[in-house]
Amino acid sequence: MAIQFLPILKAVAPYLAQVATAAIPAFTSKPEAAKSDQVVAEQIQELQEAATQNAESIHVLAEKLQQAIQSIEGAAQEAQRQISTYKRIIAGSLALSAVSLAICIYILIV
């Protein structure tokens, strides 16, 4: 049974853009040498915010992936139940066909 990746992609796709924008912070341009300490402080702040957003996005992605895996497992169990039901129906119809064939042969002989 093949796993369908479309539901997983649909669950993960909305968060990929957030992860990408958080991973690529927009740094301020470097001004004069006198203000370089302030610029470094701003860049550190931006990096910390980006790291926090990345962690939050990864947490959300992990939750969505876990939900998708659980739903896939549930669907697989349901499919297994249906397959076993179909096998029983096929076995019953095969037995009924064999009985009817035996009856037809008996009627033709007698």
Q: Which pLDDT value is given to residue 35?
A: 58
* Non-local CB neighbours of 15 within 8 Å, separated by 6+ positions: 57, 60, 61, 64
What are the structural domain ranges in the chain?
6-23+40-109
Q: Say if CB 21 and CB 52 are below 8 A apart.
A: no
Model pTM score = 0.50
CA distance 8 to 72: 9
In tens, the pLDDT along 61-97 reads 999 999 999 999 999 999 999 999 999 999 999 999 9
In tens, the pLDDT along 6-61 reads 677 677 777 766 766 666 655 445 455 555 688 888 889 999 999 999 999 999 99
Q: Which pLDDT value is given to residue 27?
A: 47
